[in-house]
Structure 1
Amino acid sequence: MCKNRRINAIEEESDSEDELYIGCIENQKKSENSWMVNLNLNGKNQKFKLDTGAQANVIPYKVLKLVKGDTKIIPSKTRLVTYSGEKMDVLGKCYINVSHRDKIERMEFAVVNFNAQCILGLSACEKLNLINRVMSVEKSAESILKENSDLFDGIGELEGYHHIELDKSINPVIHPPRRVPIALQDRLKSEIERMEKLGIVEKVEQPTEWKKVYLKIVFLKITDIETVAENYAANVFIQARWREKKLDGNTKDKVNFSEYWSPKLVVQNLENSVLNNVWKEVTVDKNNEAYIVEKRRIKGTFKERQELHDFPFDFNVSVTSEHPLDEVVLLEDENEISSLTVTCFTGDHEWELRDFVEAEIKEISKDISDFVSATFPLLKLKTLARRKFGYFILNILLVMTFISCLPLTIFAVSRDLIENRIFLGFLLILIGVTFRFITNKVLPKISYLTTLDKYILACMIFMFLCTIWHSILSRIDDLDMQYTADLWAFISLVILYALYHLIFISVVLIKYLIRRSSIMSKEQSYQEKAVRLMGDAWLISHKH
C-alpha cells in the first residue's frame, strides 16, 4: 500500500453522491513547514494537519486504536479518490469528541488502513476556531495613494539607472494598430505630442522594413533512414542571404555582424547534431548592393513524418525565423541552385534518391502566452526518396498471397469432417494475425492504413469468410443441397479472390504511374532552373 497519496475527492456510493475534496494524505515523516495543531481526542493528544482545501476529516486505524472511549467503526461505502483517479476503500467512519482549548465538537472521521497523517478539513477547522475568514483590508486605497503621491501623480523619473535584460527566447509580436474612435482622435493626438516633447516616445517616419531572406540548401550526404523512428541522418549545408543597406560601400576587412540585423534562423526539424558551424560574410552583387551571407554546416538527425500511404519519403529541412511574419519572409534563392549529392547516398540498396530539390513556403503559429499567438515564416527545402518496393513485394505481399489462398484448399476436405475444416480455417487465421504483427515491426505507429495494411486486412477478411462458410455448411442436413451449396461457395470465393487481386494490382499500378509522372515533372522543372543558373557546367556534372 502506498503511504504517500494525494487525495482529491471522496466518493459515496449512494443515490445522492457527494464529492468531498482533500488536499493530500501523506506519511508521518512530514516537514515542519506544514500547518499542524495538537487536538484532544477523548483525552488523548494527537497532532493534526490543517487542510482548508479538504471537505472531510481522515484518521488512520493505527491512531484510532489509541483513542479511548466509544470509537466504534461504522461500515461505510465511502471511497477515497486520488489525483490520478485511483480509488481506495476505507475501513469505515467513526465519531470522536475533539477538543481544542475551550471548544469541544463531535466530529466524523474517515478511517484508512495505512500509516498516514491525520487531516482536519475545512469545516472542522472553522468549528474549532482554528482559522478566520478575512473579508476586508484595513488600509484604504485612498490612504495608500496619499502616502505615495509622488509615484502615482503625473510622469516622473526614478533616480539612478537600471539595466533590463530581455529574455532572448521570447519572440516579439507585431499587432495591427487599433482603430481610434473619432471622438477621441484629438485627445489622443494631443497626448502623443505631449509624450513626444517629454522624450517618452519618438516619432518614426518610415515603416519597419520587411526583410527578405533567400535560402539555399545542399544535401551533402544522406545516411541512415529510420522508418520506425521517422527520422534520417544527413550532412547539409544551408546558406541564407539578405540585403543590408548599411554595408553599401563598406571598405572594412572585418565586419562586426552583431551590429547588424539577423533573421535568427532556426532549423525546426533538427533533432540533434554533432556538427553545427555557422559563419558570415559580406558579398556585393553586380548592382553594388551589399548582402550578408550566413552559412552553416550541420551534421545530425532530422525529424520527418513519413508519408507511408504508398511508401515515398520526403527528405525535409524546415527553416524558420524567430522574427514574426510581419517582419521577414523566407524565400528560395533564385540566384543559386539548391542541390544534393546523389553519389554520397548510402541507402541506395533500399531507397531510390531523386535528383531534385524543391521549396515550399508555409507559415507556422506559436503561442507566445495563454492569450497571444504569433505567425512565423517557414520554408521547407526538400528532396524525395522512393523506397524500392521489391523487398515488400517478395517478403510481405507475396507471402500473404500464399497464406490467403490456402483457405480455398480446405474445400478438398470431406464435408463429413466439418470440424477439421473449421480447425484448419482458424489455424490459417492465426497464421495471418502473427504475420500481421511481424509486418508492424518494420513500420512506425501511424493513424492511417498503408497499401500493405489494406492488402493484409483484406486477405484476413477473406480467410474469415471461408471459415464462416464451413460453420454455415454444418447447419445444412440435406446432402445434395450441401454439395451444391459448397460447390457454389467455392466458385464464388475463387471469383471474389481473383477479382480483389485484379482491382488491387490495377489501383496500385495507376497510383504508381501518377506519382512517377509527378516526380518526373518536378525533376524536369528543377533541371530547367539548374541549366538557367549554371549553364553547361550543371549538365557536365550530372552526366551519367
Structure 2
Amino acid sequence: MNSFSPVTGAKELKVPSIAITNAVTAEVLDRSSAPEVVNPKTGHVAVQMLFRATLRMDQQVRHFPFDCQWLAITVSLKEEGCARNRSFLFQYCEVDEGLSLDEWYLCPEPAFSTLTKQDAPSIQDTVMCGLLIRRASRYYVVNIMLMLGLISSIAFAIYTVHVSLFWERAEVFLGIFPLIVIFKMSAQAKLPRVGYSTKFDRFATACQMLFLVIVMGCMAASFITNVPTWFRPCDVAAETLVYEKLTLLADVEHYCCIALIGLWLAWIVRFSYQARQVQLLDPVQNFQSRVPLKLQGHGAPPGSTEASVEGLAPTLSVLAQEEKKRRRSRPSLFTALGIFGEDKQKMK
C-alpha cells in the first residue's frame, strides 16, 4: 500500500474472507461486488457484507441470579495465504433502540474485544462485539430464595417442643423436609444446569445444612436421654438420671438454638451483602471474561483529530501509538481503514 490508485487499486485489492465463528448457521445475504472508494485522498475503501446467522454462546453463571452476560458476535479474519499482515479495527456497533429482553436489563454501551491471531483461540485475527446484559434477579430472590429460606427457618420450631417429646419433634421435621424437596424441584426448571456451584446453589445448600444440623441435634439429644432407660428400664435411679439429663439438655438446647439463629442470620446478612456488591459492580467487572473487554465510546472524544486506537488489539495498539507519534503531522491510514496493515512502519 505504498502507492495506491483509488480508481484502479480498489478493483485489484483482494478482500479477505470474514467468518462468524460462533455461529451455528450463517449465510451471506448480500455483499459489495467490489471495494468502494470512500476517500480518494487517504485511500479509504470499504466493502459491505450482510450476514444472517444463528449464534451460540457459552455463558458462565457462577453469580446466578446476580450475573451479567455478554451477547457477543465473534468475527474472524481468514488470511487464505495472503502475504499481507491484516487485522481488525473495531469502530462502532449499532443497537436497535427498541430492543428488549425478558428478565434482562440492557447495558446502554456495547462492549467489544479485538484479538490478534497470536492471542485468539482460533489462531485468526478476531473481533468480538455485542451487548452486556444484567439479569433481573428480583423474581429469583422473592419467589424462590426468600421462600426457601423461610421454609428452612421453620425448622427452628422444633425447639418449642420439649426435648423428651421426640416423636412430636419428628412430626415437625418430617413435614418440613418433603416441603423443601418439593419446592426445590418445582423451581428446578428455571435454574441453570451446570457442573459447578452458583450463588443460588450455595444458598440452597446452606438451607439444607441448617435443617440437617437441627434434625441431627434433636436425634442426638433423644439418644442421650434414652440410653440409661435402655440398659436399666426398671431402675429408679436411672429415671432420676434421665430427669436430670432432660433438664440439662433443655438448657443446652436453649443456648444452641440462640447460637444457631445468630449464625443463620449472620450468614443471611453476609450473603445478601455479597450479592448486593455483585449487583453494584460495573457490567464489565461483573462479567467473567477471558478476553479484555472495552466499552464502546471510551476512545478519543468526538471531533478529535487524533487517531483512536481503542478498536485495535493491545499488541497492535502499541505499534499504532508509536506510528501516531512519528507521523502526528500526517493523516494516518489506519484511522480510515477497517482492515489495515501489510507494513505498519510504512503506513501513510
TM-score for the superposition, normalised by structure 1:
0.45
Match in the other structure for 1:97: none
Distance apart, 1:265 and its partner CA: 0.9
Counterpart mapping for 1:59-458 below 5 A: 248-250=5-7, 260-272=13-25, 276-280=28-32, 281-285=35-39, 287-298=41-52, 300-310=53-63, 311-323=67-79, 328-333=85-90, 336-341=91-96, 343-347=97-101, 349-362=102-115, 363-365=119-121, 375-458=123-206
How far apart are the structure 2 equivalents of 1:502 and 1:292? 56
Give the Å deviation of 1:484: 1.0
Q: Given the superposition, is the C-alpha separation of residues 437 and 301 from structure 1 closer, same or farther in structure 2, using an over 3 Å criterion?
A: farther
Checking the alignment, whether the CA contact within 8 Å between 2:6 and 2:40 is kept in structure 1 is no
CA pair 327-433 structure 1, distance change in 2 beyond 3 A: farther
CA distance in 2 between counterparts of 1:490 and 1:511 reads: 32
> What is the match of residue 461 of structure 1?
209
Q: Could you tell me whether the CA contact under 8 Å between 1:357 and 1:383 is conserved in 2?
A: yes
Structure 2: runs of 5 or more not aligned: 226-244, 287-291, 305-348
CA change 1:531–1:467 in 2 (3 A) is same
Corresponding residue for 2:296? 526
Q: Which residue of 1 aligns with 2:241?
A: none
C-alpha separation in 1, matches of 2:80 and 2:170: 66
- 1:459 to partner: Cα distance: 1.0
TM-score norm. by structure 2 comes to: 0.68
- CA positional deviation for 1:468: 0.8
Deviations 1:289-313 (A, max 9, x none): 1424232242x43211222223211
Aligned to 1:51: none
1:512 correspondence with 2:279: yes
Cα distance in 2 for partners of 1:515, 1:413 equals 49
State the Cα deviation string for residues 381-433 of structure 1 (Å, max 9, x = none). 12201111111111111111211111011212232321332343244233323
Matches of 1:364 and 1:422 in 2, distance apart?
59
CA contact (8 A) 1:429 1:464 kept: no
Name the CA distance, whole Å, in 1 between partners of 2:109 and 2:87.
20
Distance of 2:86 and 2:251 partners within structure 1: 73
- Larger helix proportion of the pair: 2
C-alpha separation in 2, matches of 1:286 and 1:441 = 58
User: Whose RCO is larger (CA < 8 A, sep 6+)?
Assistant: 2
Residue aligned with 1:416, SS: coil
Greater strand content: 1
Instruction: Give the structure with higher Rg (CA).
Output: 1
Task: Give the structure 2 partner of residue 206 of structure 1.
Answer: none
Q: Secondary structure at the match of 1:415?
A: coil
**Cα deviation per residue 1:230-259 (whole Å; 9 max; x = unaligned)?**
xxxxxxxxxxxxxx789723169xx86xx6
1:430 to 1:386, Cα distance in 2 relative to 1, 3 A: same
Name the SS for the 1:291 alignment partner. Answer: strand
Q: 1:250 to 1:328 in 2, by over 3 A?
A: same
Would the aligned equivalents of 2:158 and 2:172 in 1 still touch at CA under 8 Å?
A: yes
RMSD: 3.3
1:318 and 1:272 mapped to 2: Cα distance? 13
Q: 1:480 and 2:247 equivalent?
A: yes
AA partner of residue 253 (structure 2): D
CA distance in 2, matches of 1:303, 1:428: 41
